[in-house]
Amino acid sequence: MGSISQHLAELDASNFKVTRSTTLRDVPLPGSPEELSHSHCTDHMVTVRWTDTNGWETPEVKPYQNLSIPPTASCLHYATECFEGMKVYRGYDGKLRLFRPDCNGQRLSNSAQRSSLPVFKFDQLKKLVAKLMQIDGPRWLPNPGTFLYIRPTMIGNGPHLGVQVPKEALLFVIAVPWPDISSKGLRLYASTPDTIRAWPGGFGYAKLGANYGPSLQAHGQAKAMGFDQILWLFGEDRQVTEAGASNFFIIWRDASGKLELVTAPLENQLILPGVTRRSVLELVSERLSTQSVGSLEPLKVVERTLTIAEIEKAAEEGRIVESFVSGTAYFITPVAMIRNVNTDISTLGPNGESAGYTTLIKSWLEHIMFGKEQHEWGYVIEDGEN
Ligand SMILES: *Cc1c(COP(=O)(O)O)cnc(C)c1O
């Protein structure tokens, strides 16, 4: 940071320029082709411009519209892009809530830094989202127990084709109805050594578009073979990192018979530090690590490197109890099986039944998200003046 940066304006979401849409869009019905398209956004969007001479400008709420950027824009050539995935929930008490939005704000700012884009005060992101939802929430999210998907994004959009740190950037926030897909059990396809998602010193820990483009071909091939997601392995020892856009968990008995909830660690920066992942670990530590819940025995929470060979061995020895993935988009979803090269590994418990841990953890989170449990992780969006 040079000395000029001291005079740059901070991102400040206490003040907005608002332009209301005069032609409101149709709200898609649940399950309709528009909803399933994942592209039918709400009436408005938030944009905030940044320049390296002035810093962050006043945020704007304006009708949803195409962006205009020069063909030389940095993001189109050098992948100066990062994003977030959040949801806004309509609670059973009628209130709109975000789930731990400061975690997303912090992560977006970290991702921006890793992709040479400007950082910002992370607590401002939730205010940008809140403003958009004060305007679009009443019409687009009227029903308790439903949600919209929110996509905050930052791009380098300056016109300089020369290879350099972007001199201009745009932060925007859009909201889109998202189908509530629930699966009884995902089928994961373990990645092969010729396709690596992330590596030490890389950027697997940041939510960058650059992590995704190069992984979509493998995803498409796995889909064509009837699998739901790639399970990304890393290294000679085939470490299990994460699955698609979600973190991976397994519940098994260790060699001594003790029940563990195991997931990959953050320290080596290979995986995305999911907000849902963190919440699962914190809730299980707090509520299920020292006491049973109903008939469910306590779980020891373990963040460590685990390999596909360990999972295969545990399956052979009948020690796997359950497996699931976590993430905002697909929430908490059980995993039924993993194909590794030519071996199909069942990750269901004895007799193909789940013990109930995944369901319990999912319900804890849902209660917080939809306001059935008042919790500090639920950020209530106050009504706007509509
Ligand atoms: C977004 C994402 C996740 C899940 O993160 P959440 O904060 O829980 O939504 C996991 N892995 C990858 C690669 C992701 O992009």
Index of the ligand 1 atom closest to the CA of residue 276? 8
Question: In terms of domains, do 28 and 164 share one?
Answer: yes
HSE (CB half, 13 Å, CA atoms) of 18? 17
Helix 101-114 and helix 275-288, axial crossing angle in degrees, nearest 10? 140
Instruction: Please indicate, yes or no, whether residues 203 and 334 belong to a single structural domain of this protein.
Output: yes
pLDDT reading at 386 higher than 80:
no
- Do 212 and 234 fall into the same domain? yes
Is 360 inside a domain boundary? no
DSSP class of residue 280 equals H
Do residue 114 and residue 208 come from a single domain? no
Q: What's the structural domain count of the chain? A: 2
In the predicted model, is pLDDT for residue 4 greater than 60?
Answer: no
Q: Residue 135 belongs to a domain with what CATH number?
A: 3.30.470.10
**31-44 per-position pLDDT tens digit:** 899 999 899 999 99
Atom of ligand 1 nearest to the CA of 244: 13
Under DSSP, the state recorded for 7 is G
* Alpha carbon of 265 to ligand 1 centroid (Å): 14
What residues are in contact with ligand 1 under a 6 Å CB criterion? 85, 207, 242, 245-247, 272, 274-277, 326-328
The atom of ligand 1 lying closest to the CA of 327 is 8
225 shares its domain with 113: no
Burial class (CB in 10 A: 0-12, 13-18, 19+), 319: buried
Task: Answer yes or no: is 195 within a domain.
Answer: yes
231/148 same-domain check: no
Which among 162, 179, 196 is the end of a domain? Answer: 179
pLDDT digits (tens, 9 = 90+) for 58-94: 999 999 999 999 999 999 999 999 999 999 999 999 9
Are 55 and 163 part of one and the same domain? yes
pLDDT at position 208 over 50: yes
Q: Does one domain contain both 224 and 330?
A: yes
Position 362 in a domain: no
Q: Which two tokens stand for residue 273?
A: 């530090």
What is the 84 CA–ligand 1 centroid distance (Å)? Answer: 9
Which CATH number belongs to the domain containing residue 337 in this structure?
3.20.10.10
Cα gap 232→249, rounded to integer Å: 13
- How many CB atoms within 10 Å of residue 328? 20
Q: Same structural domain for residues 235 and 321?
A: yes
Q: Is residue 121 part of a domain?
A: yes
pTM score of the predicted model: 0.96
Of 130, 163, 179, the last residue of a domain is 179
- pLDDT value of residue 255: 87
Say yes or no to pLDDT of 1 above 50: no
Chain centroid, CA 308 distance in Å? 24
Tell me the average pLDDT of the chain.
Answer: 95
* pLDDT one-digit tens code per residue, 115-154: 999 999 999 999 999 999 999 999 999 999 999 999 999 9
Question: Is 367 inside a domain boundary?
Answer: no
State which of 146, 179, 212 marks the end of a domain: 179
Same domain membership, residue 271 and residue 123: no
Asked if residue 87 belongs to a domain, the reply is: yes
Q: For a substitution probing ligand 1, which of 103, 247, 333 has the most ligand atoms within 8 Å of its CB?
A: 247
Which residue of 272, 276, 277, 331 sits with most ligand 1 atoms within 8 Å of its CB, as the best mutation to test the pocket?
272
Radius of gyration, CA atoms only, the chain: 22
Q: Please tell me whether residues 253 and 333 are part of one structural domain.
A: yes
What is the span of the domain harbouring residue 336?
186-355
